[in-house]
Amino acid sequence: MVDKKEVIQGWPLETGDYSVGDSECPVAVVTLGSKMNDEVVGRGAAIAGPLHTENLGIEKVVTNIVSNPNIRFLIICGSEVQGHITGKTVEALYENGIDPETKSIIGSPGAIPFVENLPIEAVERFQKQLTIISMINNENLDEISAKIEECKANDPGAYEEDAMIVQLNEKEEEEDSEDSTFDLNASSSSAIDSSAIHMLEIETRIRSMKLEINEIGSLEKFSSGYYAGKVEGIVIGFILTLVLILIIFWSMGL
């Protein structure tokens, strides 16, 4: 029997679209763009939920994992989220960590991979505490279940350090508590940083919507051209065939 640690009260600390099972189980599952929380938790995972964004979503995943030292494996499965590429971003976070200055995930293919609310210690703890199992674009529940069982069989026990509690809104709270007259510059620059990231995300989404609208427009043009061409082709084909057959009949002397 491996050692387990008592789970802190109120775990998982961050809210989200997830399901919670046995909190002493060593396996957490991220289902990326697929929604199968209850099915996965029903097959033995401690926590399971989708991951749609490569910034705020990953911050929540890391916070909830490092606050439970019993979790030693993270299975990444389900369909990859287009544009955000959250699965590969979690892998990049695990393998490369973050840039301490820009707080961007090194080597992430996602659009806006910034984890500005996450301290570097939490990322290091995430890297040390876990083993990542990549099953990206796999939605087969039997295979996921088999992997969960395999992880449970290889459970090394709880991580030696206690639960790490990360306050994602720490910066804002600190700023609120300080004297606002002396801290105007600091708070406004942080707000600008945060809003710039949100604006960037909005811009990316607008761009992708615009692309889709353009695609619909070009499809519409294609179908109108197809219809016009078809009518033209029917007339050409009909006349040419008639002329050809009449020539054949005439040459045969009929």
Partner 1 sequence: MSDNLKEDLELIKDRLDKLENKLEESHGEFSHQTGKSVGRDIGILYGIIIALLFIIIMLKFHII
Residues at the site binding partner 1, with contacts judged by CB under 8 A: 214, 217-219, 221-242, 245, 249
Nearer to partner 1, 165 or 239 (CB): 239
Nearer to partner 1, 17 or 249 (CB): 249
Q: How wide is the angle at C-alpha 250 spanned by C-alphas 244 and 254, nearest 5°? A: 125
Nearer to partner 1, 192 or 228 (CB): 228
Query: Is the Cβ–Cβ distance between 8 and 162 less than 8 Å?
Result: no
Secondary structure class of 27 (helix, strand, coil): strand
Nearer to partner 1, 186 or 244 (CB): 244
| Helix 170-177 and helix 184-252, axial crossing angle in degrees, nearest 10 | 150
CB 224 to partner 1: min, Å: 7
CB 232 to partner 1: min, Å: 5
Quote the radius of gyration of the chain (alpha carbons, Å).
28
Q: How wide is the angle at C-alpha 180 spanned by C-alphas 175 and 181, nearest 5°? A: 145
Nearer to partner 1, 6 or 220 (CB): 220
Strands 19-20 and 47-49: antiparallel
CB 193 to partner 1: min, Å: 20
- CB burial of residue 122 (10 Å; 0-12, 13-18, 19+): buried
Nearer to partner 1, 106 or 234 (CB): 234
**12 preceded by cis ω (within 30°)?**
yes
CB 203 to partner 1: min, Å: 15
CB 239 to partner 1: min, Å: 8
The CA–CA distances, whole Å, from 88 to 24, 51, 73, 77, 126 equal 27, 11, 16, 11, 16
Q: How far is the C-alpha of 121 from the C-alpha of 250, rounded, in Å? A: 93
CB 209 to partner 1: min, Å: 15
